[in-house]
Structure 1
Amino acid sequence: MEPIINPWVFYLIDVVDSLKNVLWCVGGIFFCTLIVYFIGYMSFDDGYRGDNEKRKEKCVKYATVSIGVLILVGVLQIAIPSKNTMYQMLAARYITTDNIGSAQNNVVELVGRIVQEIERKKK
């Protein structure tokens, strides 16, 4: 008997849902990093040109990278569906009117057999 839905689909849905959790953690880390770089940027004296200027440029560079990563994580969080949505999409793909009609016919046939067995046992 071949299953209608490949069992690996359920595994992949769980893995993708775990990926969303990891993305939340990555986003939180980069948000904290962005705050640290912002504080570092604000603490440098603009009147002093020297080593602090290089540090300030690094802060801007790393803050820009952090903002880019935060935007990427945000887009992925929006684009990746939740576990419930993935299950609903899977059900919508495999539950068709033909499948429902077939299941209905099987249920009617099964109930008919049960009634026949009950009547046979009574005799």
Structure 2
Amino acid sequence: MKPIISPWLIYFASRADSLKILAGCILVCCIIAICIAYMEGDIDYGSVLTHKSFMKKCAIVSVISAVALAVTPSAETIYTMAAVKEITPDNIQAIGKTGKDVIDYITDQIDKVVNDKEENKK
């Protein structure tokens, strides 16, 4: 029997929150680096231009990090998306709940299985 959700999807879903944290940290560090590079240069003498390429690189990394932060879904969203493709109207009627209740139940069960496995490793 084929599993509803691939074990690889569960693994990558558990790493999605870490990716968001990493992207946020990189974004904050780049913004701080840009501010320091700008303050270190003296506008009157044009020495800000010496840090221009560094600031440009930090700005590019900041934009990429901000986009990654914005488009990376949470683990719960990934589980929901994976479960939704397997749910049909007949399944929902058989259970007798709304679609949202079914998705919440499935997501809770997946989290329970994943958390039980993590606790057993400790």
Q: Name structure 2 gaps, 5 residues minimum.
A: 97-122
- Quote the Cα distance in structure 2 between the aligned partners of 1:83 and 1:89: 10
- TM-score normalised to the size of structure 1? 0.65
- Quote the Cα distance in structure 2 between the aligned partners of 1:12 and 1:44: 46
1:71 to 63, 84, 91: 63
Match of 1:81, SS?
Answer: coil
One-letter amino acid of the counterpart of residue 52, structure 2: V
Match of 1:94, SS?
Answer: coil
- Quote the Cα distance in structure 2 between the aligned partners of 1:85 and 1:4: 16
Alignment of 1:68-107 (within 5 A): 68-100=60-92
- Quote the Cα distance in structure 1 between the aligned partners of 2:12 and 2:63: 25
Structure 1's 83 and 24: CA in aligned 2 closer, same or farther, altered over 3 A? same
1:60 to 34, 45, 52: 52
Displacement of 1:44 after TM fit? 5.3
- TM-score normalised to the size of structure 2? 0.65
Structure 1's 7 and 103: CA in aligned 2 closer, same or farther, altered over 3 A? farther
- Quote the Cα distance in structure 1 between the aligned partners of 2:64 and 2:16: 16
Bigger CA radius of gyration: 1
Aligned to 1:13: 13
Alignment of 1:99-118 (within 5 A): 99-100=91-92
Matched length: 96
Displacement of 1:27 after TM fit? 0.8
The ranges of structure 1 where at least 4 consecutive aligned residues each deviate by more than 6 angstroms after the TM superposition are none
CA RMSD of aligned residues (A): 2.3
Q: Name structure 1 gaps, 5 residues minimum.
A: 47-52, 105-123
User: What percentage of aligned pairs have identical amino acids?
Assistant: 27
Displacement of 1:81 after TM fit? 1.4
